[in-house]
């Protein structure tokens, strides 16, 4: 369960390059490469250790709606929550704030 | 179209000439004396710490993911960790090639602290006498083994690589066991290269032909990660190799080359203003990319074993004067791979397992 007020932070050993609007993340801690899709990349780009989950969701929703992807933004809260759980499970993020 | 795997990223980088890796030879100084080393120091002044740091900043614009620090032995530089830290500060993933000699507990801890993504360590034998003979340094095997222990303790991903020579060719299974005992992946290089100045004396250490035939047989299948020999498949990348496309190499003097093997200078990191622009416009890079695309259609197509040849235009140019001309080491390995392939095909079809008449095949003409 990811709390809406928790603030994710990228793992310090991660390196990101964006290739064709998709984030390629190299995580030294586990020596793994992860590739994110478009929405995942938008979320990842907003993770700075300061923004909370709900702020990130709101920002991504705003981006999608501005770009005419309103249908994608439906169910976004749950999708992003699952995504954060996945990032956490892979060691790509740590948490501060309310916790998760 | 959405990318779903790192393999696709690499494939796209091949096609679009988008570099993922910058390999930087920080120094030609080394604490080993390997007879098969391809480095050829010229005596010029090597780059200072500040010059390297500024160079790393110039590379940022290219969107490179990895910086690979190598040498010589990169870790002999007193500023090695300062350079690592700067590379990490700039946001590069860090890979280090080393002989492992200097990796004690403290160095391993610092490699972890700078978030080293991967270490690649050279091993030359399963026994001290073999490894030390090839490195020219007594005690180097023991230091290597100790270093591997320290890296494992720090949980740093480590790969071992072994250039196969006629001195270590009979120890490969034992080397494999060492890799497994340290939870390292393992790769083999059956081709010894001439030195960068064209000196071919390292080739005298090459594995012999009888061994190469065995190496690609089932006897060594486990060491080849269970893979049967397959034909080359250039249908995705449409090129012989990634030279000037997915990677580039910088030497200790700042000269930038299309790759580690093809030493055609296309810039110097000290002088270049806009590296990304030069990556697109350099005539040298255009030439090597063109050559890499032609090789499957020319050099490899003309050779009977071409479908099995890992051809390096850089080595070819150094050794024969032409990047398109077959050279003996590539030919020998290709023949061994072809023999293994044909034997496997014959096995599958219930044939007697007769190997092809290699004595007359076109590659032979060059040797």
Interface predicted TM-score (ipTM): 0.87
* Rounded mean pLDDT, B129-155: 98
Contacts of B283 (CB under 8 A, 6+ apart): none
* This prediction's pTM: 0.91
Beta bridge partners of B94: B67, B116
Residue B282's Cβ-side half-sphere holds a number of Cα atoms within 13 Å equal to 24
Q: Is the Cβ pair B116, A37 closer than 8 Å?
A: no
> With contacts defined as CB-CB under 8 Å, which chain B residues touch A29?
115
Contact between residue B331 and residue B290 where contact means Cβ atoms under 8 Å apart: no
- Give the integer Cα–Cα distance in Å for A6 and B235: 47
Angle at CA of residue B61, ends A15 and B256, nearest 5°: 105
Q: Is the Cβ pair A19, B63 closer than 8 Å?
A: yes
Q: How sure is the predictor about A98, in pLDDT bands with cuts at 50, 70 and 90?
A: low
Tell me the per-residue pLDDT of B264-280, one tens digit each, with 9 for 90 and over: 999 999 999 999 999 99
Alpha helices, DSSP H, located in chain A: 38-46, 53-66, 70-73, 76-89
Contact of B16 with chain A, judged by CB distance below 8 Å, is answered with no
Other CB atoms within 10 Å distance of the CB of residue B73: 22
- Residue A19: phi, psi to the nearest 5? -115, 115
Q: Is the Cβ pair A19, B115 closer than 8 Å?
A: no
- Residue A32: phi, psi to the nearest 5? -120, 150
pLDDT of residue B2: 79
Q: Give the A-side interface with B, CB within 8 Å.
A: 12-13, 15-20, 22, 24, 26, 28-29, 31, 33, 35, 37-38
Partner-chain residue, chosen from B3, B93, B157, that has the shortest CB–CB distance to A15? B93
Tell me the per-residue pLDDT of B202-246, one tens digit each, with 9 for 90 and over: 999 999 999 999 999 999 999 999 999 998 887 766 789 999 999
> With contacts defined as CB-CB under 8 Å, which chain B residues touch A38?
2
- Give the integer Cα–Cα distance in Å for B207 and B188: 12
pLDDT of residue B139: 98
Partner-chain residue, chosen from A15, A24, A28, that has the shortest CB–CB distance to B91? A15
Q: How sure is the predictor about B351, in pLDDT bands with cuts at 50, 70 and 90?
A: low
Check pLDDT > 60 for residue B354: no
- Residue A25: phi, psi to the nearest 5? -115, 125
């Amino acid at each position: 369960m990811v709390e809406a007020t928790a603030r994710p932070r990228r793992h310090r050993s991660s390196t990101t390059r964006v290739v064709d609007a998709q984030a390629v993340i190299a995580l030294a801690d586990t020596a793994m490469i992860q590739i994110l899709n478009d929405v995942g990349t938008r979320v990842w780009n907003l993770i700075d250790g300061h923004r909370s989950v709900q702020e990130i969701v709101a920002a991504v929703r705003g981006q999608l709606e501005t770009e005419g992807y309103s249908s994608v933004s439906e169910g976004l809260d749950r999708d992003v929550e699952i995504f954060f759980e996945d990032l956490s499970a892979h060691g790509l993020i740590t948490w501060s704030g309310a916790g998760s | 179209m959405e990318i779903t795997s790192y393999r696709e990223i690499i494939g796209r980088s091949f096609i679009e000439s988008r570099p993922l890796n910058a390999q930087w030879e920080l120094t030609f100084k080394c604490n080993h004396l390997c007879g098969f080393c391809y480095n050829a120091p010229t005596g010029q002044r090597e780059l200072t710490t500040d010059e390297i740091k500024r160079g790393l900043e110039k590379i940022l614009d290219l969107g490179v993911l990895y910086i690979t620090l190598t040498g010589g032995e990169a870790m002999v530089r007193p500023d090695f960790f300062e350079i690592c830290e700067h590379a990490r500060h700039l946001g590069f993933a860090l890979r280090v090639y080393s002989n492992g000699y200097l990796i004690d507990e403290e160095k391993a801890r610092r490699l972890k602290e700078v978030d080293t993504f991967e270490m690649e360590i050279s091993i030359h034998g399963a026994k001290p006498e073999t490894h030390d003979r090839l490195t020219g340094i007594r005690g180097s095997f023991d230091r290597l083994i100790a270093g591997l222990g320290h890296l494992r303790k720090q949980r740093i991903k480590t790969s071992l690589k072994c250039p196969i020579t006629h001195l270590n060719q009979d120890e490969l299974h034992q080397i494999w066991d060492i890799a497994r005992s340290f939870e390292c992946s393992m790769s083999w290089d059956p081709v010894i290269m001439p030195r960068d100045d064209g000196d071919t004396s390292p080739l005298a250490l090459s594995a012999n032909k009888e061994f190469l035939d065995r190496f690609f047989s089932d006897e060594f299948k486990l060491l080849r990660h269970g893979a049967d020999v397959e034909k080359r498949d250039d249908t995705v990348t449409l090129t012989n190799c990634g030279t000037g496309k997915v990677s580039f190499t910088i030497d200790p003097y700042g000269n930038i080359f299309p790759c580690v093997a093809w030493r055609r200078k296309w810039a110097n990191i000290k002088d270049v203003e806009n590296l990304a622009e030069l990556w697109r416009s350099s005539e040298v890079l255009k030439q090597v990319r063109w050559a890499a695309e032609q090789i499957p259609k020319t050099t490899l197509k003309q050779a009977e074993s071409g479908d099995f040849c890992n051809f390096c235009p850089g080595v070819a140019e150094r050794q024969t004067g032409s990047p398109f001309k077959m050279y003996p080491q590539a030919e020998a390995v290709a023949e061994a791979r072809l023999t293994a392939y044909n034997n496997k095909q014959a096995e599958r079809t219930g044939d007697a397992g007769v190997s092809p008449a290699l004595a007359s095949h076109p590659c032979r003409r060059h040797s």
